[in-house]
Amino acid sequence: MKSAVLVFPGINRERDMARTLRLVSGVQPAMVWHAETELPAGTDLVVVPGGFSYGDYLRCGAIAARAPIMDAVRAFAEKGGLVLGVCNGFQILCESGLLPGVLMRNARLKFVCRDVHLRVERSDTPFTRGYNAGQVIRVPVAHGEGNWIADAETIRRVEDGGQVIFRYCAPDGELGETSNINGATNGIAGIVNARGNVAGMMPHPENHVESIIGCTDGRGLFAGLAAQFGKAA
């Protein structure tokens, strides 16, 4: 799996993401600066990592969404290439029009930094094939603007089209206000586009892939992606 990790001013999770991709796939990803206009030849997967691109001025991800490299990412996605955005990367993909909706301030207006539980809603996408539908995983979050919202028609389309891949939940998989840590519509923590080749999620699976950390629930996402291209370390 040949992956490319985008780097914007203010992004701070790019090395975590690159380490995880190397550990799981066995291949060092390319680091692509925001001012570039092309992706490396033969790229299989583009990852937009978390952080605070451009200091989160305007709306989170709004400036990064207009960076030169994003034109290449949009063209890559239109051809069916896989794109994953995590945390700020999710915000950037929404702001660039690659995913529906927008990420707003957390409902309680507080930055949330802790482990959360997610229910895997689908196991038939490139991003969730490493899990079982209905499985509950534990991964960290670290964000102040993770409240996914959209207009009523978009929400209906996302739900009816099976575009939700992760929801915030209790450890037993139950959904509810208590486990919805940022107020996101319907507890949505991650979605895919209608075609299924672009995904975004607020939690950080890249930080739960090594047993030394104490939890490896995030590894399934990356192992599934690597398996998509024939190799998972």
The residues that are catalytic are 87, 204, 206
Q: What is d(CA 173, CA 149) in angstroms, rounded to the nearest whole number?
A: 22
Residue 114, SS3?
A: strand
Contact 74, 220 (CB under 8 A): no
Q: What is d(CA 12, CA 233) in angstroms, rounded to the nearest whole number?
A: 25
Q: Helix (H) and strand (E) counts for the chain?
A: 5, 11
C-alpha 233 chain-centroid distance: 21
Q: What is d(CA 22, CA 159) in angstroms, rounded to the nearest whole number?
A: 33
Residue 91, SS3?
A: helix
Q: What is d(CA 93, CA 198) in angstroms, rounded to the nearest whole number?
A: 9
Q: What would the two tokens of residue 175 be? A: 């959904």
Contact 84, 93 (CB under 8 A): no
Integer angstrom CA distances of residue 89 from 67, 102, 124, 178: 13, 12, 22, 26
Q: What is d(CA 193, CA 195) in angstroms, rounded to the nearest whole number?
A: 5
Q: Which residue has the tokens 């507890």?
A: 187
